[in-house]
């Protein structure tokens, strides 16, 4: 009996996936099964194929002749992909991102109507380049978990076929408190914009909806624009990452559309009563980098960690400190308007002191410290990562009703 | 989700500042037990209040009645801060230059708000001395002092109530280390302190 034809067939199948198997070796295996073990030739071909597939870590190719190998796998919904799955999906490339390493030829997000998933195409796979906005059928890709996020890996055993027709794809959003690492969309309001902490960062801040808030970041890339604070956006296919147990949204891959209306942002809003027990260095009048989008605090020598010496700095006021209620200490950050109303020192007055007093900016720090340290205040704002960003701060005035109530409480049991 | 041990370490190591406890002078001077949490040299040290709470930091507002400069090479300042129930002994040395300068320039008498670390010493003849190492001291007004009395009375009453029903380790420790103290005296103390505030 001649096994060379079947061996050739199997060998071709593997070379299509980028793996070379010696037909002589395949032939040997087939012969052994058929002549020694009395296995049917078609069954032998199937089992040798599967055995080799396992050996080379490729998805099972099933039986039969060339061309039929792929049809077996069931189409999977992207949202249902779990780590370790070998899957076949049909989806639209909604974003491509710069590959993180030379061994990756393409990375991005592919989505179907159930959701999106990050994918990585290994350079070794020799897969055809996929284009944003096009639909593809991807057979035998493998899902893996990396840093808590499920990724689809496209390797040499994966087949990619373009789908001609442009199917409709309606992206969806979900409540912020239901986001999980991977890909997500939200309809949210930009509730805060933070000082950029990295030179590659275009913008970072906080997005909020009715269910909660989440940090967002946009990295500098051609064509990327900043979000406008206070605006509502529909954001689709953002990357949801988890770090130190906290989620954040990276918007570089996302489709962002400005929306009308308003959202009553909930969550994170707190009000704390207590005494100010510490005013940290860096409070008072500070200088900020004037470079657009930077706004970092400068050193005394007007040095910005990114933009170096900036003689045309912008003055600002802030107080960093600790507000303590006797049970817990809250890190508080007060911005200019709150500082002005709490200390009674306006930015103009502070500038005047900083420029004319022999102690300069230190004098502003000392005056503000003397005005607020040890005082009882109520601070309202948003608490993120144990830091309270205050929208308003008010001195608490003495309450004689509280005095009476306490006298009754203390005296009641005497 | 991430099993990266570095992340876990960071989470556990997240810095949490010790709150500043509110305590009247006559309860504070009864402290006799100081302990460390953990073996590390930098582990925080706590003084146990008789009302069953540890403190690594306290916040007090009272009248600075006296201050005294001491030492030649190692200059430090001592001071007395009086509340309606007794006296706190405060000190600031060259390790707390800001606090020392603040104390140095404060004229007595004055209402002051003090944040500091409690310290327990035993003199060679066996007497206990409880003092506060100042982190910051600021001159405040009488209204702030009165607010502090209300605040401290409320916190003290909270602790006394917790002693009756609570089961925290600190409450158990307090009962063990201060067997002779009846916390009811601190209820009376709080009442007397409140009564000194003019209605």
| Averaged pLDDT of chain B | 89
* pLDDT above 70: residue A277: yes
Least confident among A17-31, A85-99, A258-272, B185-199: A258-272
Closest CA to A316 of B92, A92, A294: A294
- Angle made by CA atoms A315, A320, A322, in degrees to the nearest 5: 165
**pLDDT at position A414 over 80:** no
Same domain, A323 and A356: yes
Highest mean pLDDT: which range of A223-227, B2-6, B141-145? B141-145
Q: Number of structural domains, chain A? A: 4
Q: B20, A329: Cβ pair inside 8 Å?
A: yes
Contact at CB, A242 and B1, closer than 8 angstroms: yes
Same domain flag for A90 and A49: no
Verify whether the Cβ–Cβ distance A410 to B19 is below 8 Å.
no
Judged by a CB distance cut-off of 8 A, whether residue B22 touches chain A is yes
In a domain? residue A379 = yes
pLDDT digits (tens, 9 = 90+) for B81-129: 999 999 999 999 988 899 999 999 999 899 999 999 999 998 899 889 9
Burial of A228 (0-12, 13-18, 19+ CB in 10 A): exposed
Query: What is the end-to-end Cα distance of chain A in Å, rounded?
Result: 108
Q: Worst-scoring range by mean pLDDT, A15-29, A91-105, A177-191, B4-18? A: B4-18
Q: Is residue A191 part of a domain?
A: yes
Residue B165 has pLDDT above 70, yes or no: yes
**Average pLDDT for A193-222:** 86
Closest Cα in chain B, distance from residue A182 (Å): 12
Per-residue model confidence (pLDDT) at position A1:
63
CATH code of residue A252: 2.40.50.140
Q: What is the mean predicted confidence (pLDDT) over A208-219?
A: 87
CB contact under 8 A, B115 and A397: no
CA separation for the pair A256, A233 (Å, rounded): 7
- Do A274 and A322 belong to one domain? yes
Do the domain assignments include residue A334? yes
Number of Cβ within a 10 Å radius of residue B107: 8
Distances (CA, A) of A113 to A33, A90, A167, A171, B189: 46, 10, 10, 7, 69
Residues A98 and A206 grouped into a single domain: no
Query: CA torsion sign, A175 to A181 to A184 to A189?
Result: positive
Q: What's the pLDDT at A280?
A: 95
Q: Which two tokens stand for residue B101?
A: 């300068």
Q: Are residues A376 and A328 in the same domain?
A: yes
CB A187 within 8 A of CB A172: no
Which of A64-73, A396-405, B63-72, B78-87 is predicted least confidently?
Answer: A64-73
CATH number, domain of A326, equals 2.40.50
Task: Report how far residue A382's alpha carbon sits from residue A46's, in angstroms, rounded to the nearest whole number.
Answer: 63
Residues A288 and A362 in one domain: yes
pLDDT per position as a tens digit, A297-311:
999 889 998 888 999
Long-range CB pairs of A263-267 (<8 Å, 24+ gap) are A263/A187, A263/A188, A263/A189, A263/A208, A263/A209, A263/A210, A263/A232, A264/A210, A265/A189, A265/A191, A265/A208, A265/A209, A265/A210, A265/A213, A266/A208, A266/A209, A266/A210, A266/A211, A266/A212, A267/A177, A267/A208, A267/A211, A267/A212, A267/A213
Domain of residue A128: give its range.
78-163
Average pLDDT over residues A237-260: 87
> Within an 8 Å CB–CB cutoff, is residue B56 touching chain A?
no
Domain ranges, ordered by start, for chain B = 18-196
CA distance B114 to chain A (A): 7
Domain spanning B18-196, CATH architecture: Beta Barrel (2.40)
* pLDDT for A349 beyond 50: yes
- Taking each helix axis from N to C terminus, what angle separates A400-412 and B184-196, rounded to the nearest 10 degrees? 150
**In-domain check, residue A403:** no
Q: What is the pLDDT of residues B114-123, one digit of tens each?
A: 999 999 998 8
Structure tokens of A313?
A: 């700095």
Length of chain A: 414
pLDDT score of B166:
82
Q: Are the beta carbons of B135 and A403 separated by less than 8 Å?
A: no
Residues of A with CB under 8 A from a CB of B: 147-148, 181, 242-245, 275, 277-278, 322, 324-329, 331, 369-370, 373-376, 386, 396-400, 402-404, 406-407, 409-411, 413-414
Which of A275-295 are b and which e, b meaning 16 or more Cβ less than 10 Å from the residue's Cβ?
bbbbbeeebbbbbbbeeeebb
Mean pLDDT in residue range A337-361 = 95
Q: Are strands A246-250 and A212-219 parallel, antiparallel or unpaired?
A: parallel
**Among the listed residues A387, A351, A371, the one whose alpha carbon sits nearest the alpha carbon of residue A194:** A387
Q: What is the pLDDT of residue A127?
A: 85
Beta carbons of A329 and B195 less than 8 Å apart = no
Chain A touched by B45 (CB under 8 Å)? no
Instruction: Give the end of a domain, one of A163, A188, A220.
Output: A163
Query: How many CB pairs below 8 Å do chains A and B form together?
Result: 108
CA distance A153 to A214: 28
Distance from CA of A368 to the nearest CA of B (A): 11
Residue from the list B14, B157, B197 with its beta carbon closest to the beta carbon of A409? B157
With CA atoms as reference, report the closest residue to A212 among A242, A181, A174. Answer: A174
Does A244 lie in the same domain as A196? yes
Residues A141 and A254 grouped into a single domain = no
Residue A19 has pLDDT above 90, yes or no: no
User: Is A101 contained in some domain?
Assistant: yes
Interface predicted TM-score of the whole assembly (ipTM), two decimals: 0.89
Across A221-242, average pLDDT: 89
Percent of chain B whose predicted confidence (pLDDT) is above 90: 72
Domain endpoint, select from A216, A237, A259: A259
Higher pLDDT, A285 or B40: A285
The DSSP secondary-structure symbol of A162 reads E
Per-residue pLDDT at A69 exceeds 60: no
Residues A2, A41: contact at Cβ < 8 Å?
no
The confidence score (pLDDT) of residue B3 equals 38
Of A1-15, A71-85, A193-207, B16-30, the one with minimum mean pLDDT is A71-85
CB contact under 8 A, A275 and B153: no
């Amino acid at each position: 009996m001649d096994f060379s034809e079947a061996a050739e067939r199997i060998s071709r199948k593997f070379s299509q996936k980028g793996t070379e198997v010696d037909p002589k070796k395949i032939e040997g295996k087939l012969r052994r099964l058929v002549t020694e073990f009395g296995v049917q030739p078609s069954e032998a071909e199937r089992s040798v194929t599967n055995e080799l597939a396992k050996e080379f870590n490729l998805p099972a190719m099933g039986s039969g002749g060339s061309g039929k190998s792929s049809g077996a796998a069931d189409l999977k919904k992207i949202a249902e992909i779990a780590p370790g799955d070998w899957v076949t999906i049909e989806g639209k490339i909604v974003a491509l991102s710069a590959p993180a390493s030379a061994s990756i030829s393409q990375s991005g997000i592919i989505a179907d109507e159930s959701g999106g998933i990050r994918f990585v195409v290994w350079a070794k796979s020799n897969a055809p380049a996929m284009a944003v906005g096009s639909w593809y059928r991807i057979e035998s890709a493998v899902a893996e978990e990396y840093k808590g996020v499920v990724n689809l890996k496209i390797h040499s055993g994966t087949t990619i076929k373009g789908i001609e027709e442009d199917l409709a794809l309606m992206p969806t959003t979900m409540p912020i408190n239901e986001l999980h690492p991977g890909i997500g969309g939200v309809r949210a309001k930009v509730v805060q914009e933070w000082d950029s902490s990295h030179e590659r960062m275009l913008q970072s801040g906080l997005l909020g909806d009715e269910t909660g808030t989440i940090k967002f970041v946009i990295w500098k890339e051609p064509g990327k624009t900043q979000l406008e604070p206070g605006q509502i956006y529909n954001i689709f296919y953002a990357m949801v990452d988890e770090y130190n147990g906290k989620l954040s949204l990276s918007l570089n891959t996302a489709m962002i559309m400005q929306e009308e209306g308003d959202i009553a942002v909930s969550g994170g809003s707190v009000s704390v009563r207590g005494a100010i027990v510490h005013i940290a260095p860096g409070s008072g009048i500070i200088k900020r980098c004037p470079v657009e989008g930077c706004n970092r605090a400068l050193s005394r020598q007007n040095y910005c960690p990114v933009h170096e010496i900036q003689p045309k700095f912008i003055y600002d006021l802030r107080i960093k400190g600790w507000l303590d209620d006797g049970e817990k200490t809250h890190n508080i950050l007060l911005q200019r308007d709150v500082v002005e109303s709490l200390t009674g020192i306006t930015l103009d007055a502070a500038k005047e002191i900083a420029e004319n007093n022999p102690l300069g900016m230190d004098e502003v720090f000392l005056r503000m410290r003397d005005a607020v340290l040890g005082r009882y205040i109520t601070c309202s704002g948003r608490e993120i990562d144990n830091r309270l960003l205050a929208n308003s701060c008010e001195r608490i005035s003495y309450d004689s009703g509280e005095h009476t109530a306490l006298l009754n409480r203390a005296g009641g049991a005497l | 989700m991430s099993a990266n041990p570095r992340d876990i370490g960071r989470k556990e190591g997240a810095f949490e500042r010790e709150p500043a406890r509110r305590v009247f002078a006559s309860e504070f001077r009864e402290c006799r037990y100081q302990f460390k949490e953990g073996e590390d040299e930098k582990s925080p040290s706590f003084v146990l209040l008789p009302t069953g709470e540890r403190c690594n930091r306290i916040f007090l507002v009272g009248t600075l009645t006296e201050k005294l400069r001491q030492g030649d090479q190692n200059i430090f300042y001592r001071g007395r801060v009086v509340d309606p129930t007794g006296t706190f002994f405060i000190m600031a040395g060259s390790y707390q230059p800001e606090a020392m300068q603040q104390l140095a320039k404060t004229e007595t008498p004055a209402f002051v708000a003090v944040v500091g670390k409690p310290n327990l010493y035993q003199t060679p003849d066996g007497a206990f001395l409880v003092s506060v190492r100042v982190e910051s001291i600021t001159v405040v007004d009488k209204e702030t002092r009165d607010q502090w009395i209300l605040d401290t009375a409320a916190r003290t009453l909270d602790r006394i109530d917790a002693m009756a029903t609570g089961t925290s380790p600190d409450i158990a420790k307090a009962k063990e280390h201060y067997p002779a103290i009846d916390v009811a005296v601190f209820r009376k103390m709080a009442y007397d302190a409140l009564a000194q505030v003019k209605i």
